[in-house]
Structure 1
């Protein structure tokens, strides 16, 4: 291998290493001031897939009507956890959480206004009768 070829190979290795370092260093993230509303739940026994779809479609419709909803996530990829409930005989049993959805709000004012918005109240009339139990988590960087 000639000197020039070795130098070129060394330069290529250095450039690749530098590119890897720059690539890692370029990983940027933010801490938005929005509020994320995360809901985990299981549906009542007997709830059909079509009824679940109606709930999720309602969230998407609501997002178009309630000012301040920026984004929604509607497809549960992986949901973990369980809650204890009493069965028909009054015995405590674990019930797996099966579904989740997320809504992102522009700010706290938008999040608070959503609670009493007519579109939210209309959606609840569909959702609440199908919901077994749910937990919500409201998270922000503010």
Structure 2
């Protein structure tokens, strides 16, 4: 009887360990490959854009994130730029629907009032898992 009980306890421990490892694997995988959407924008500015105007547009990305609930995080400080773009910024949307709803939203239109007067051109990449 003791052998049976020990065997059952051993099997239960193995099963618990396997479940725990599986959960840890999925948790790590979800952290590495989240379901958010990264909206990467590379920008070139108009020739007559001032440093203040450019900074206002970038600061506007931060304000936009505060006003639009679908944005979780933003990055506005370009460390390195290649090609014909001098700056980039990134918005992390909660999910693909949040990005879709952002297009044409009141928050986006308000930010465009600061962004478009200094923006010459941009390229956008939307990335998710």
Secondary structure of 1:61's partner?
helix
Aligned length: 100
Q: Which runs of 4+ in 1 moved over 3 A?
A: none
The structure that is helix-richer by fraction is: 2
Tell me the residue number matched to 1:68: 70
Matched, 1:123 2:121: no
The structure that is strand-richer by fraction is: 1
Q: CA deviation at 1:39?
A: 0.3
Tell me the residue number matched to 2:82: 80
TM-score by length of structure 1 reads 0.67
Secondary structure of 2:108's partner?
helix
Q: CA deviation at 1:128?
A: 1.2
TM-score by length of structure 2 reads 0.74
Matched, 1:105 2:107: no
Q: What 5-or-longer segments of structure 1 have no aligned partner?
A: 1-27, 82-95
1:59-107: CA deviation from partner (whole Å, max 9, x where unpaired): 11110110110100000000112xxxxxxxxxxxxxx210100000010
